[in-house]
């Protein structure tokens, strides 16, 4: 049986992942009159560069190419470096393409915020919201004893066994941490969007490199946690808190920073 506390935290995480981007969009539209075009471009860039291109590369290097998959699977430090820089390069390059070519001339503070809402918001909804909804669905099936009868014809028994064991054995608070992580990631995505916007606006393209490095540094501990090198999830979360706070400070002080 899945702990009822786990299900509650799944629902809370889903609410955070979906509700926060919507709430921020409404707030920023009222305050800044942000453009929905920027939001859509941000969302589209994330889907194309992170979910299609980056994942396509991961599929090749982690699954198809036997030599690279052995190296990356056997060495967690190489895996972490690879994963961190892959995320940084693809997502920040995508941001650059968005601001430089698709949103040409839209380089005000509100444009960066709107793009960041789209980029970070769709990430939160897909990775956090949909995943949490799926976990709730599986949990209800497990607790009602209908997991295998409902999904047995669609998924192998081994897969259902793995899903069931994973949900049941996961500590309830980790489901809540997932939602908090999406909130922090959303703030980080806003901050990184402003860094790349500044690179395009000022034509100081070294800031694109800074954004890639910052992104990689944030993702590096998460990749080590995924591989079991870091065993305390709160180390990863504290790093995310610091990065999210920096993103908030950057946006708050944008007018002071962005001076000729």
pLDDT digits (tens, 9 = 90+) for 36-49: 999 999 999 999 99
The answer to whether 55 and 126 are in contact (CB under 8 A) is no
Tell me the two tokens of residue 252: 């708050």
Rounded to a whole number of angstroms, the distance between the first and last alpha carbons of the chain is 61
CA 138: distance to chain centroid? 22
What is the residue extent of each domain of the chain?
A: 4-257
Q: What is the mean pLDDT of residues 75-97?
A: 98
81: confidence class by pLDDT, cuts 50, 70, 90 = very high
pLDDT tens readout for residues 107-119:
999 999 999 999 9
Say if residue 258's pLDDT is above 70: no
CA 12 – CA 129 distance, rounded (Å): 10
Give me the torsion for CA of 186, 187, 193, 196, rounded to 10°: -130
pLDDT of residue 24: 97
Q: How far is CA 230 from CA 56, 70, 145, 226, in A?
A: 27, 21, 35, 8
Counting residues of the chain whose pLDDT is more than 90, the rounded percentage is 91
pLDDT of residue 260: 53
Q: What is the mean pLDDT of residues 75-103?
A: 97
pLDDT of residue 43: 98
pLDDT of residue 259: 63
Question: DSSP string spanning 65-91?
Answer: -HHHHHHHHH-HHHHHHHHHHHHHHHH
Say if residue 83's pLDDT is above 80: yes
pLDDT tens readout for residues 132-175:
999 999 999 999 999 999 998 888 999 999 999 999 999 999 99
**Per-residue DSSP letter, 1:** -
pLDDT of residue 52: 98
Work out whether the CA dihedral 133, 138, 141, 147 comes out positive or negative.
positive
Task: Please choose, from the candidates 218, 258, 191, the residue with its C-alpha nearest in 3D space to the C-alpha of residue 80.
Answer: 218
CA 167 – CA 175 distance, rounded (Å): 9
CA 80 – CA 83 distance, rounded (Å): 5
**Per-residue DSSP letter, 170:** S
């Amino acid at each position: 049986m899945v702990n009822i506390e786990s299900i509650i935290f799944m629902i809370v995480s889903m609410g955070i992942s979906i509700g926060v981007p919507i709430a921020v969009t409404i707030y920023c539209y009222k305050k800044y009159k942000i453009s929905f075009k920027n939001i859509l471009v941000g969302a589209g860039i994330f889907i194309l560069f992170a979910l299609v291109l980056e994942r396509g590369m991961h599929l090749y290097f982690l699954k198809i190419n036997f030599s690279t998959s052995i190296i990356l699977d056997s060495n967690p430090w190489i895996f972490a470096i690879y994963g961190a820089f892959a995320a940084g390069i693809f997502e920040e390059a995508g941001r650059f393409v968005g601001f430089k070519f698709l949103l040409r001339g839209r380089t005000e503070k509100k444009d960066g915020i709107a793009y960041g809402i789209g980029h970070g918001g769709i990430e939160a909804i897909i990775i956090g919201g949909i995943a949490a909804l799926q976990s709730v669905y599986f949990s209800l099936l497990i607790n009602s004893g209908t997991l295998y009868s409902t999904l047995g014809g669609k998924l192998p028994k081994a897969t259902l066994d793995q899903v069931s064991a994973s949900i049941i054995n996961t500590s309830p608070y980790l489901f809540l941490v997932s939602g908090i992580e999406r909130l922090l990631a959303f703030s980080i995505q806003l901050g990184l969007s402003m860094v790349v916007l500044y690179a395009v606006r000022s034509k100081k393209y070294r800031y694109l490199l800074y954004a890639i490095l910052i992104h990689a540094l944030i993702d590096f501990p998460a990749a080590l946690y995924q591989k079991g090198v870091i065993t305390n999830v709160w180390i990863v979360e504290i790093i995310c808190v610091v990065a999210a706070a920096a993103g908030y400070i950057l946006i708050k002080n944008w007018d002071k920073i962005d001076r000729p």
